[in-house]
A = this chain, B = another copy of it.
Amino acid sequence: MTDNYQPQQANHVPLTPLSFLHRTADVYPDHMAVVYNDRQYTWAQSRDRCCQLASALKSIGIQREDTVAVLAFNTPELFEAHFGVPMSGAVLNTINTRLDADTISYILDHGNAKALIVDTELLPSALDAIAARGSAMKVVVINDAAAPATDVSVDGSIDYDAFISAGDANDKGEMPEDEWQTLALNYTSGTTGRPKGVLYHHRGSYLMSMGTVMGWAIPRHPVYLYSVPMFHCNGWGHAWTMAAMAGTVICLRYVDPKKMFELIEEHSVTHFGGAPIVLNMMANAPKADQKTFDRTIEVMTAGAPPPAAVIQRMGEFGFNIMHVYGLTETYGHVLQAAPQLHWSDLSAAERSELVARQGVRFPMNEAVDVLAGSPPKPVAHDGEQMGEIVLRGNTIMKGYLANEEATSESLRDGWFWTGDLAVVHADGYVQIKDRAKDIIISGGENISSVEIESALYKHEAVAEAAVVAMPDEKWGETPCAFVTLKQGATVTESELIDHVGNTIARFKRPKKIVFGELPKTATGKIQKYALREQARA
């Protein structure tokens, strides 16, 4: 049987998450799309604003494949940019709000941004960045009532609302001609050197949303509290996923546990996400700020394994934790600690151990393996043999913008190489033991910093812990721990070292412990490179 039919317009439409917005605005025009303080927009209104943004961008000369950068908090404007920018044919480049002016300048320059949409609070950094860049660009300013007052202004800039009001809501915007067309450009906060620009295509983000709905089993009309910064892997793709499921997005400008509890109650939030540090903040917030719910609220967490104590504490509020794993290069989550039915027979502690693993692949991810040796071979499923996590699928980046060397280094032999070291358990679940560069090699033995951190977290006085390698004349490297204690808790360095030595293999215990606050990235990840520098000094 052979046929020679070629794809045509009726039966082959490029996959794009923009399709979700149009369907939901058509089918559920009056359902609430976005809520932010006293502002709210239905899906019909939200699409109108996105169309206006696209139209306004085109009117200032933005063309297909131009870059439009956004430096903003999780306000409706950043949500709208996820549709309005690609609807103008352009590439959306959301920038981490915590970056310094020099790095922002590098990103604007490297990505060749033609326009910048920026929140007033971030104008000072943006101004410095633009000045450093040397070339002019169109600046659109988000004047959020909740932003701190500022006197700074940019010559020739325009207010966001004024800008889009000149746009045509009836111009339904561009759809990609090819699903491989670039949709977004996300710079990774590399631990060394300049950030790299990760390229997403329309196909990938469409499938990311569909796979997220399946893997997280999102029902119709979810209410999603947007506590994860949208600049981070496009907020794990959830702006598009919420459009797909006709959800309601509750915007959150700053992460604040008290506010989060309030919003969850006020808007009957069904889903939210956050790094374990955010969950930790909620779990350890003052009692008066916390609320307990008599329904289950689904919570996605990523960035580090959530400590068992946090999972259990969150469960008491009504929060069901889904631990996921991904990287900027994978559009966000691609592995999940998918729950097995028989886990409900286990104790909370046992279940927490299982949930803390990175897990198995999401439906849109086509393959995961853990490879070791040369030539690389899959490791045994014994929970012991360590190898590098490799991934394959349609939600793997196109590559790094203008960096073919780094691209071919990470995309090779049919896999994306994550740089994360992991084991595979007998049930097929992957568990990260460390970043390749976070392994501590002491006296020829590999020591996992994650294993030491887990041991530290088991001590009741420890709120946060991070372990890095410290140069050592005799051993080459030894573990150095950085620890933040819970409020009011006390423990001495030697007590804590003994605790670790009694919990895991004695040779793995840290030789030094530094007490104090830990440096963090914008998304709440502990900045190990800063700690490594400190340990080296």
Residues on A lying within 8 angstroms of B by beta carbon are 1-3, 5, 7-13, 15, 19-20, 23, 26-28, 31, 65-67, 91, 111-112, 180, 182, 185, 199, 204, 207, 210-211, 213-214, 217, 219-221, 244-245, 338, 340-341, 360-361, 363, 366-367, 391-394, 396-399, 401-402, 407, 411-412, 414-416, 428
Contacts and interface: CB of A to CB of B under 8 A. Distances in A.
B1 A392 contact: no
A344 B217 CA distance: 24
A361 B398 contact: no
Number of copies: 2
Contact of A11 (B10, B220, B396): B396
Query: Among A11, A15, A363, A412, which residue has the most Cβ atoms of chain B within 10 A?
Result: A11
A66 B1 CA distance: 6
Contacts of A31: 341
Nearest to A391: B10
A20 B399 contact: no
A95 to B, nearest CB: 14
A81 to B, nearest CB: 16
B66 A411 contact: no
Given A214-B210, A221-B341, A414-B10, A407 B361 contact: no
Contacts of A415: 10
B394 A11 contact: yes
Contacts of A207: 15, 210
30 contacts: A1-B66, A1-B67, A1-B111, A1-B401, A2-B65, A5-B399, A10-B391, A10-B414, A10-B415, A11-B393, A11-B396, A12-B394, A13-B367, A15-B207, A19-B363, A20-B363, A23-B361, A23-B363, A26-B360, A26-B428, A27-B338, A27-B361, A31-B341, A210-B210, A210-B213, A213-B213, A213-B214, A217-B219, A219-B219, A244-B363
A interface: dominant SS:
loop
A8 B10 CA distance: 27
A207 to B, nearest CB: 8
A22 to B, nearest CB: 9
B411 A10 contact: yes
Contact of A398 (B11, B20, B401): B11
Contacts of A210: 207, 210-211, 213-214, 363
Contacts of A213: 210, 213-214
Closest 6 CB pairs of A and B: A11-B396, A9-B414, A5-B399, A210-B210, A13-B366, A5-B398
A459 to B, nearest CB: 34
Contact of A13 (B199, B340, B394): B394
Nearest to A404: B5
Query: Among A5, A9, A211, A412, which residue has the most Cβ atoms of chain B within 10 A?
Result: A5
Contacts of A399: 3, 5
A7 B185 contact: no
Given A1-B67, A23-B363, A217-B245, 4 more contacts: A8-B411, A10-B411, A19-B366, A217-B220
Contacts of A28: 340
Contacts of A341: 31, 221
B392 A9 contact: yes
A7 B11 CA distance: 22
A426 B358 CA distance: 48
B11 A397 contact: yes
Nearest to A408: B8
Query: Among A26, A214, A341, A393, which residue has the most Cβ atoms of chain B within 10 A?
Result: A214
A2 B401 CA distance: 8
B338 A10 contact: no
A119 to B, nearest CB: 23
A340 B43 CA distance: 14
A11 B65 contact: no
Contacts of A2: 65
Nearest to A402: B3
A516 to B, nearest CB: 41
Contacts of A412: 10
Nearest to A15: B394
A8 to B, nearest CB: 6
Contacts of A221: 341
Given A220-B217, A338-B27, A182 B1 contact: yes
A217 B361 CA distance: 21
Contacts of A10: 391-392, 396, 411-412, 414-416
A440 B396 CA distance: 55
Contacts of A5: 199, 398-399, 407
